[in-house]
Amino acid sequence: MKRILRLCLIGIFMALPTWLMAVETKNLLSELTQTKLSKMPAVLEQLEAQGDESLLPVFRAWLGGDLYYTRADSHLVVKTKVAGETVYMGVFSQEVDAELGSKQVRKIKVNNKLRGLLRGTIARLQLTSKQPELRESAVRELLADLDRDTFTTLEALYPQETHSSVQEMMQTALSLYTAKDPKQSQSARLAAIDYLSASLENDVRNGLVQLSQDGNAVIAAASNKALDRINQSVERYAFVDQLFFGLSLGSVLLLASIGLAITFGVMGVINMAHGEMIMLGAYTTYVVQLIMPNYIDYSIWVAIPAAFLVSGLMGVLIERLVICRLHGRPLETLLATFGISLILQQLVRTIFSPLNRQVSTPSWMSGSWEINPVLSLTLNRLYILAFALLVFIALVLILKKSSLGLNVRAVSQNRSMAKAMGVKTEWVDAMTFGLGSGIAGIAGVALSQLTNVGPNLGQAYIIDSFMVVVFGGVGNLLGALVAAFTLGIANKFLEPTTGAVLAAIFVLVFIILFIQKRPKGLFPQKGRAAE
């Protein structure tokens, strides 16, 4: 009995500090509803001293100006929006109180001074978070406003940190403070500046700019040297960023042009309605999302085959009704397909209206992959680049390994001989036109994730697609791949110096001059029937 009583007393004494801290925290939170704005920093300091990570929702709401309290019982609530309507929910429970309106609550005020203090408080509380990402983010937030207390805290936490990226960020913060502190020895400051020369954080660069104007000539010279090293790294990553955007544009041009390369190479048809096949694919994506609004993350997997079928069937229909009657008459084919493109544009305007339509991006394609503070790759472009390469590989395998591919290659090399050997050239033409149009539809799915969907969407890419086909070599898929990425990268590297319009003009002039020298393109067809 005595042993049980002793254990109970020990449990009570162990729980007592936690209970007292909870009571104190509750009292401090209630002070927020009564204290004047000028006295708020003192209350904030006491709340931070509790070291309670559960207070982070309070501080975040306060920082955003969304922290309120009820007039009736001074209960803290957060103002937010649900389905476009303003509601108030418990700051800890996250439960919406439907009875609360703007007249039943009052706002806890915040000013710029408090916002600065709140950012520091949030960052310092996150330093002990269980999630490494939050700890790293917290240290990054503190770089702009390092003081002696923060330095001491980081110095104490650094040996205990186990995550390498958080350790690296802590070392950066400690080095930045050391480099700025005139009380530190010159050798320590120089060592800190040398470490910072490998960092790409904006706050580090700002700190080194300040140090480059330091009265100590040695420190100023070391800071300038570190800045030069950082700027060289920034330029390298800027080059990588431009290269990525060039590859991204190239992937779009590849998707838009490989279907055209097949139809142009096999049938010799200048299909001016190819851009409208892209447009149909984009509108198919829009319709699929209308049908399944609650499954946007999965809608694109339905849209890809749907767009291929819609555009492919439209291509087969056009070939069977119009193109097959105009073999050997390229000028009439060009005019006929141009007329079809106008008809399709007007059909879309009639059904969907002339206004652009917004297609939602799945959550897994949103955001960016942050490699470092100066280089981040947008996920939607990264996925489209990978998708374009997969489509290209799949198309190459179809043309190399399937019977359709064998027939397509036979017809493209010598139509008369293929027909004499029993190949149904009319069927090959229809399937080829359908395949090329279907791939254009898939290009429309990709474009819907980068831009608005409208009746003129395809017109923006038809000229570029023809340039890719002609530059790479008519009917050559490898040529289309090389040409698409070459033109995309060239455009993106010219744009910063010449502007978008002049860049396009320079690329066009280059292709004209290139075709004068190599009329058959980069990778011309070979064989007796290549002419």
**pLDDT tens, 65-98?**
888 888 777 778 888 877 667 878 777 777 777 7
pLDDT tier for residue 14 given thresholds of 50, 70 and 90: very low
Please name the residue that has the structure tokens 């087969």: 316
Predicted local confidence at residue 266, as pLDDT: 67
HSE-up (13 A, CA, CB side) for residue 39: 7
Q: For residue 474, give the 3-state DSSP assignment.
A: coil
Select from 370, 376, 391, 396 the least CA-distant residue to 251: 391
Higher pLDDT: 393 or 11? It is 393
Q: For residue 100, give the 3-state DSSP assignment.
A: coil
* Angstrom distance (rounded) from CA 151 to CA 179: 12
* Angstrom distance (rounded) from CA 104 to CA 72: 7
Is pLDDT at 207 greater than 60 in this prediction? yes
| Phi, psi angle pair for 365, to nearest 5° | -105, -5
* Angstrom distance (rounded) from CA 209 to CA 91: 41
Range with the poorest average pLDDT among 280-284, 316-320, 502-506: 502-506
Is residue 152 within 8 A of residue 170, CB to CB? The reply is: no
Range with the poorest average pLDDT among 2-11, 17-26, 244-253: 2-11
User: How many residues in the chain?
Assistant: 531
Structural domain boundaries in the chain: 23-114, 132-211, 251-460
pTM: 0.75
* Angstrom distance (rounded) from CA 484 to CA 256: 9
pLDDT tier for residue 232 given thresholds of 50, 70 and 90: very high
Predicted local confidence at residue 19, as pLDDT: 34
Higher pLDDT: 18 or 359? It is 359
Residue percentage of the chain with pLDDT more than 90: 18
Residue range 138-162: mean pLDDT, rounded: 82
Is residue 474 within 8 A of residue 520, CB to CB? The reply is: yes
Percentages (nearest 5) of helix, strand, coil residues in the chain = 70, 5, 20
Rounded to the nearest 10°, the torsion over CA 366, 371, 374, 380 is: -20
pLDDT tier for residue 53 given thresholds of 50, 70 and 90: low
Q: What is the mean pLDDT of the chain?
A: 82
**Which residues does 155 contact at the CB level (< 8 Å), separation at least 6?**
174
Predicted local confidence at residue 7, as pLDDT: 40
